[in-house]
Amino acid sequence: MSRTNDLANRINDAYGRLSKGQKQLAAYITDNYDKAVFLTAAKLGKVVGVSESTVVRFAMHLGYKGYPEFQSALAELVRNKLNSIQRMEVTYGRISQSKILESVLKSDAEKIHSTLEKIDEHAFELAVDTILHASHIYIIGIRSCAPLAGFMAFYFTLMFENVHLLQTSSSSEIFEQMVRIGKDDVIIGISFPRYSMRTLKAIEFANNRSAKVITLTDSVHSPMNLYSSCNLIADSDMASIVDSLVAPLSVINALIVALCMKKQSEVAETLEMLEGIWDEYQVYENDEINYIDDSIKMRYARIGDTDTDE
């Protein structure tokens, strides 16, 4: 049972045994969990009209060690229940217009810091080793996680031959792209609230085919971890109209660097080959700023003029 459902069930199961003040707390939290999550025990008590000690006893009556643990469970509830409009209202209600840049950057920095403190280094090393020894690497990220999956696949392709970025809008097409996945392969599923059912089905399918499963998600209680043998946990934004995926991107960067260090010769060989291709076909001539010999530019310009005249 997830931590989110556990909190709701605890409140429902304990309601009949609660004191009058605690029942007021339960009612307020049930109806206003999106606001209660940001309140200290003292502030929550003041809003409801009970003492701070009543709030703390309420949390402990539900089976939590104290208010901080209860608030963490409440955060899980908010993370999964808020829709996009509610997220926007909560965010705009606690950040002034003049402080947006400062607040967002500080919040992102805090997420990276908290991720560093609690990420499982053994799981990270296991992920690196699993990817290194996989015959095929499948990567999936849906909706706001799609750019993360694409970023990972771009750099993985420089290191490995068989990288498959699953890009689709339907579950049936996902299964078609991974129909040959097997025990020697690995799938990396990236998903943050609100979680993607398509990503969950993909990693379930991979698990049923005995493939290795690595997940990058926000909590040990994430449904993505149901089929995973290696869980990489990174903090994401709890309540915002925009998903903050800075910390997950940092974890992906760390994976790429770790794998590059393990495959230095292969990466160097690939890059050398690509440099030759880029030079031969002037890949960056019209795509990116690149200092190229003027004589080359003039030669290509003359060729273009000749073709036009013909």
DSSP secondary structure code for residue 195 in this structure: P
pLDDT computed for residue 11 by the predictor: 81
Q: How many helices (H) and strands (E) does the chain have?
A: 14, 5
DSSP secondary structure code for residue 196 in this structure: P
In sequence order, the β-bridge partners of residue 230 are 214
All domains in the chain, ordered by first residue: 3-81 (1.10.10.10), 118-262 (3.40.50.10490), 266-309 (no CATH)
Q: What averages of pLDDT result for each successive group of 10 residues across the chain (310 residues)? A: 60 82 85 78 89 91 88 77 54 58 81 88 94 95 91 91 85 86 95 84 92 90 84 74 81 92 81 74 59 51 49
Separation of alpha carbons 304 and 310, rounded Å: 10
Please enumerate, as own/partner, the contacts of 53-57 that have beta carbons within 8 Å and a separation of 24 or more: 54/19, 54/21, 54/22, 54/25, 55/25, 57/22
135 φ/ψ angles, rounded to the nearest 5 degrees: -70, -45
Separation of alpha carbons 119 and 231, rounded Å: 9
**What are the residues whose beta carbons fall under 8 Å from the beta carbon of 189, sequence distance 6 or more?**
140, 141, 199, 200, 202, 203, 213, 214, 215, 216, 217, 224, 228
pLDDT computed for residue 239 by the predictor: 46
pLDDT computed for residue 3 by the predictor: 44
CB atoms under 10 Å from CB of 56, counted, come to 17
Helix (H) or strand (E) holding 212: strand 212-217
Query: Pairing between strand 137-141 and 212-217?
Result: unpaired
